[in-house]
Structures are given as C-alpha cells and as structure tokens.
Amino acid sequence: SAASREAIRAIRDWAVNGPVARPTPRSANDFGRLVFSDAVQRIKLPRDVYKRLRRTINRGEPLDESVADAVAVAVKDWALEHGATHYTHWFQPLTGITAEKHDAFLSPTPDGKAVTEFSGKELIKGEPDASSFPSGGMRSTFEARGYTAWDPTSPPWIYKTASGTTLVIPTAFISWTGESLDKKTPLLRSIEALSKQAVRVLKLFGSKADRVTTTCGPEQEYFLIDAHFYYTRPDLIGAGRTLFGAKPPKGQELEDQYFGSIPERVLACMREVEDELYAIGVPVKTRHNEVAPSQYEIAPIFEQANVATDHQMMVMETLKRVAPKHGLACLLHEKPFAGINGSGKHVNWSMGDSEGNNLLNPGDTPHDNIQFLVFCAAVMRAVNKYQGLLRMSVASAGNDHRLGANEAPPAIISIFLGDMLTGIFEQIEKGATRSTTHGGLLETGVDVLPKLPRDAGDRNRTSPFAFTGNKFEFRAVSSNQSIAFPNIVLNVAVADSLDYIATELEKAVEKGADFEDAVGKLLVKLTKENKQIIFNGNNYSDAWQKEASKRGLLNLRNTVDALPQLASAEAVKLFEAYKVLNKRELEARLEINLETYNKSINVEAQTMVLMANRYILPAALGYLTQVAQSVAAGKAAGVQSKEAKKLLVHVTKLVDAFKQRTEALTIAIAHEGNGESLKHAKYMRDKIVPAMAALREVGDAIESVVPSNDWPLPTYREMLFIK
Ligand code: ADP
Ligand code: MG
C-alpha cells in the first residue's frame, strides 16, 4: 500500500539521519524535577503548614482551610516559577481515561489589569461540568453537577510540553450527593479499609505499626509501529486493533524478539517517554523487547498504590503522546494483532507497614514467618472467596482476546505459590492436626521459610495470580485498563480476610488461648478452606480446565459472563461492609461496564463494515476483473489456462462470500439494544462477535490472493517487521 511505501521511506531516512534531537544527559536531579514533592513541600511551605499537610498525607488527618490556603499559595508560586499558566484538577472518571479542564491562574482586576490567583478553595475543590461523564444512572442530567476534590496523598506535578505548561492536581470526582463517579475515590477507601484491618492483625503480633500501605508496581506491555501504518488503518484508529489482517509468513515463532536489542528509533522514543515520566516523578526503571514482534515493556519501581495508579495512567498517556514525535504509534490494546501475543499489565502487589516492613516478605525468624504466613493466607482466602470479583475486575471486550487464549492467563482465577510455599501450607495442615502442642507448627513448617527462593527460578508464566518471592503478581490485568479496579478488589477482599483473621484471633486470645497456638489452628482452617485456589501447574492446559471445574472454581470465559459479579449480593455485602462502594455505586459501574462493552463491539463491527465496503471489496473486485480479463484474453487468443479459470472461480467465490458476510454483519448491527444492557451485551457476544469473525475469515483469504500493489491496507508483515 501507499502507506507502506511512505513508512519505508521514513524508516530509511531515520536510519541514515538519526533522531532529530540527541537526548540530553540525565542526572539523578532530574527525577521528580516537576513534582511538588515532599522535598519541595518542605522548602516551600511554612513549617507548621508542612507538618500538618504531612499528617494529612501520612495519617489521613483532615485538612482545614487555612492550611489549604497556605499550600495553595506555595504551590501556585512554585508552578509559576516553572512557567505554568494554568492549573487543572485531574481526575479519573469511569470512562477508562483521565480528564482535565484547564483554568488560568490569571484573574482580571477592576482596574483593567490582572493578577495571578489561586486559593485554598480552588486547590481543594473544582466543579467541572460533569454531565457528559458516565454515571451509570446515578445522576440524572438535571443534577448533573459533580465536583473534584484534591487528593493530597498524590503530589501535584507540572505538565510541561512545548505547547503549554499546566499545574496538575490529582483529584477525586464525586457527585453532589456524595457518590463516587471515579476510580480514585473507591481506591482510597479500599486502601484505608485494608490498612485498618491489617493493623489489627499486626497488633496481635506485637507490632507498633499504625498504618499499612498497599504497594503496587505495574508492568506495561505495548506495541510500537510506524505511524504511517497507523494513520492508514481505520481499525487501528477507531478500535485500537486490527479487525482484518492475514497471518504473515513469519510471526513470533522464532522467538527472536524477546529481550532482543531494541531498535534505535524505538529506543529514542522510549528515552523521551522516560525523560518525561522522570520529570513528573514516575520511577520508570525497566525497558525491554517483549515476546511478539514490535512489542515492548516499560516497568516502574513500585509505589504506594494510589500514586502508582495515577502514575500508571501517566505512563499510558505519555507513551501515546510521545510516540508520534518519533514517527511511531503506540498501541495499548490487549490484542492489536491476531495470531501473536497480546499485551497485559502485570500488577505486582504487596502490603507495607509504617515500620518499613513488607508484609509479604518471608522473615528471618520463625516469629516473623508465622506473621508472613498469616498475611499470605489472608491473600489466599481473599482470592479464593472473591475469585469472581477479581475475574470481573479485568474483564473487557479487549481482554476477551487474551484471557483463556493460549498465551495469557486463563479466565479461571487461581494462585501460584510455588512448590516450597505450597509444601509448607500442606505441612501446616497435616502437622497441626498431628500435634496441637506449642511449637509443633514451627518445627514442621515455618523454620524452613527463610530458604524460600526469591529469584526467577521458581516462576510460572501461566498463572493469573502468582507469588513472586515477596509480592503477588496479578497477571490477568490488561494492557489498556486502569489498574484502579483490580487494586480496589484486591484491597477490599484482603481487608475482609484480615478482618476475619483479626476477629478470630482476638476472640481466641480473649478466651485465654496461647497466641501461636491460635494462629496455628487458624492457619490450618484457612488452608483447608482455601487450598482449592492453589494451582502450580500449567494454566493453559485442558487438564486444568477439567480440574478447576472439579474443584468448583469459577470459569467466567468472557466479559459478559464476568461483569454481573460486580453487583452480586456477595459483592454488595463486601463493598458495603468496608464502605468502599455502595449498592448504587456498584450497579452504576456494572451498567457503565456493560455499555462500554456494547459500544466497543459496536464500533468494531461498524468499522469492519466500513473497511469491507470501501477498502477490501473494491480491491477484491479489481482483482476479479483482472483475472476475468486474462481468462477472456486467453480465450480470445485460443489458449485457455485451466488454472486461470480455476482462479477466476475461486476469487468469484471469495467475493460472493465476502459480500454476503458483510451484509449479514450489517443486518446484525442494525439490531437495536432495547435499553437492557446485559441482554444487549449477550447479543453482541453471541451474534455480532461471531459475525465479525466470519467476515474476517474471508477478508483475510482475499488479502492473501490480491496483488500486493493493489492491497489498500498495510499488512501484518509490514506493520510488524518494518521498523
Ligand atoms: P520481574 O517480575 O520482571 O522479575 P521484579 O520482580 O523486579 O521484576 O519486579 C516487578 C515489579 O514488581 C516492579 O515494578 C517492582 O518494583 C515491583 N515490586 C517489587 N516489590 C514490590 C512490592 N513489595 N510491592 C509491590 N510491587 C513490588
Ligand atoms: Mg513480572
């Protein structure tokens, strides 16, 4: 195609001339240079204001207006020093992306001049017109207002590009009736809930910790392809993935891409992405080639989950924004190309106490190890008990192409603990039944714990939820989604387990039981009740599907099956118990997720019809004419090719089938949803998705016969390998 020729020219020029600007050297001082960080706050704020702000940040103490006013003045002056002209309350509505509305610092004065102004009120609260953000029926248009509320636990930063400089204030987004319209509010609530319950458990172990933070390190996979390809594919622009595309002669079978050397132009792009993220305090650390051709990964060092979630959104936005500057397009979709690996986002997750301990770190003493086992068992119970919710938290039309396919974690949620840790739980279960005497537990299992492997040796790439030495890694999360909801579900589910554990142990201790004995008995119970969720084998195998079904584990194969978990009686009970989301907020989210699913599939189907009618069919008819003409010419000349005639029949059949299937899809999408989104979603899944697959099949068959010069779209071979 023409785009391919342009791309080849651009790539060749780049190879000869190199990047337009050489990257400047990076120093440690560049990190967080545009963040109103703790260090900056200490310098810029009056001492007492600084102290009170830190108490709010570290301990959740309420913040009064005089403190807010003082912070506002300082943050404004600091932002102006950096050349900011505007500020924005930045938030995460239920759309999946972030939202911002910019306001100038400048205010006119009555004498015809202007001053820069920014009050505590403006820092704390904003009022964007919320009427166009999804609310899932929580808000009718006449009460459309929502407000944004400053989240002091995530430090403001300056968003600086050649085109403008803006102070960004991370905020929560809430309706006037106090319902959460975003992802940050429930995340903050879930972090709080987990902290409270974890502290109860720690106290029983004699710890002085007064807070527990959730820690999170998300690894982002993505594709980069030449921008010419992107701009000429309606499917990539409209749906984020290719809806047609024949399998290339070479895919990823040679496995020569993973950890291979990074192409120069891609490296230049990565470098600029890192520079920008560095400046706003995102601690990006790792970059490498991923398994599929033109697939890469970027990973930060873990942070407090709320900040990590904000930063993760910025990672995605920065990748998308910077790539075009290097003539590239970044694809964050879970499955941009059929037949090769899709992209995920491994969310590494743990808990840390205010004394600086990672609670999922196996300790060096038996005492520490019992505590570790208790927290580990809490996660095991949480994942087992709320497996449906965890599955739901990663469900989307895009992720349906990954989960359960032979490359990504399956739709069945299970935990990989590794042989050693599994063995320890098995021993505990047996040992403690054998002897309830004090110390029995320690001798059978816990003493060996410090030898737990913490390196990459004991890994299982197929598990959706794996213990990796000192943290869990939730691998079913998708490349394109916010990590907020998976984090929320995990936090609230683990909070529920820790609450249960604390209550049981407090009761036992109150009755005068020996603490370690009580812990031993509880661990046995937790292991017995939840060990069905442990699976260390190959999650991709058919045997596991059967085994999991025997164990009674949920297998929610697609988004439509998984989403209703969100508003199940069990979910409502859990979320309301910890005041993370109420029934209405949950139902609203279910509604929004279903609508998002329906809209995504609809956009894909419409785009396919467009491409079928305006790109592929004309090319197919053109080729059909060519073949027909050469058959006719042969006939006229009296030399008839049998093979040419066969080809004519073959292409005619393809064209017929293609036209018929285009018609079928067109008719299918004309079906109106009757306002009942779950029913509509089932229709999309059962009728539209198969009709799309049927159309693609013929479209791809046509691609493999039409002459390359006449093919109107960049091919897989070109998009994935010309770089
Ligand atoms: P890999 O999984 O590729 O071997 P690492 O084990 O180094 O890589 O870590 C992957 C991610 O897990 C990184 O983002 C890292 O910061 C994060 N991580 C490490 N420790 C924790 C923790 N305690 N809590 C949350 N994330 C963590
Ligand atoms: Mg990893």
Please tell me if the CB atom of residue 301 comes closer than 6 angstroms to any atom of ligand 1: yes
Q: Which atom of ligand 1 is nearest to the CA of 218?
A: 14
Pairing of strands 114-116, 465-467: unpaired
151-164 pLDDT, tens digit each: 999 999 999 988 89
Q: What is d(CA 679, CA 692) in angstroms, rounded to the nearest whole number?
A: 19
- Helix/strand/coil (H/E/C) assignment for every residue in 244-259: CCCCCCCCCCCCCCCC
How much is the pLDDT for 424? 83
Residue 173 CA, ligand 1 centroid: distance in Å: 30
Check if the beta carbon of residue 563 is closer than 8 Å to that of residue 590: yes
What's the distance, CA 98 to chain centroid?
13
**Percent of the chain at pLDDT exceeding 70:** 93
Check if the beta carbon of residue 300 is closer than 8 Å to that of residue 316: no
Reported pTM? 0.94
Mutate to test the pocket of ligand 1, among 259, 348, 467 (most ligand atoms within 8 A of CB): 348
378-413 pLDDT, tens digit each: 999 999 999 999 999 999 999 999 987 767 778 999
Please tell me if the CB atom of residue 350 comes closer than 6 angstroms to any atom of ligand 1: yes
Please tell me if the CB atom of residue 180 comes closer than 6 angstroms to any atom of ligand 1: no
Can you point out the beta strands (E) in 397-550? Answer: 465-467, 472-474
Q: Which atom of ligand 1 is nearest to the CA of 219?
A: 14
Q: Assess whether pLDDT exceeds 80 at residue 367.
A: no
How much is the pLDDT for 439? 41
Please tell me if the CB atom of residue 358 comes closer than 6 angstroms to any atom of ligand 1: yes
The tokens 């190890």 sit on which residue? Answer: 369
425-477 pLDDT, tens digit each: 888 887 644 433 444 444 444 444 445 555 544 567 889 999 998 999 999 99
* Torsion (CA) 422, 423, 424, 426 in degrees, nearest 10: 90
Q: What is d(CA 307, CA 667) in angstroms, rounded to the nearest whole number?
A: 46
ipTM: 0.96
Write the CA distances from 396 to 99, 180, 572, 585, integer angstroms.
Answer: 21, 21, 21, 19
Rounded (5°) CA angle 348-323-307: 30
Lowest mean pLDDT among 401-410, 502-511, 619-628: 401-410
420 vs 119, more confident? 119
Of 245, 467, 466, nearest in space to 340 by CA: 245
Q: What is d(CA 321, CA 388) in angstroms, rounded to the nearest whole number?
A: 35
How much is the pLDDT for 383? 98
| Tokens encoding 62 | 């309420």
Q: What is d(CA 594, CA 92) in angstroms, rounded to the nearest whole number?
A: 18
| Tokens encoding 655 | 């064209």
In total, the chain counts a number of residues equal to 723
233-252 pLDDT, tens digit each: 999 999 999 999 999 887 77
Q: Which atom of ligand 1 is nearest to the CA of 300?
A: 14
163-187 pLDDT, tens digit each: 899 999 999 998 877 888 899 999 9
Q: What is the mean pLDDT of residues 364-368?
A: 70
| Tokens encoding 187 | 């995340």
280 secondary structure, DSSP code:
T
Q: What is the mean pLDDT of residues 43-53?
A: 95
Please tell me if the CB atom of residue 300 comes closer than 6 angstroms to any atom of ligand 1: yes
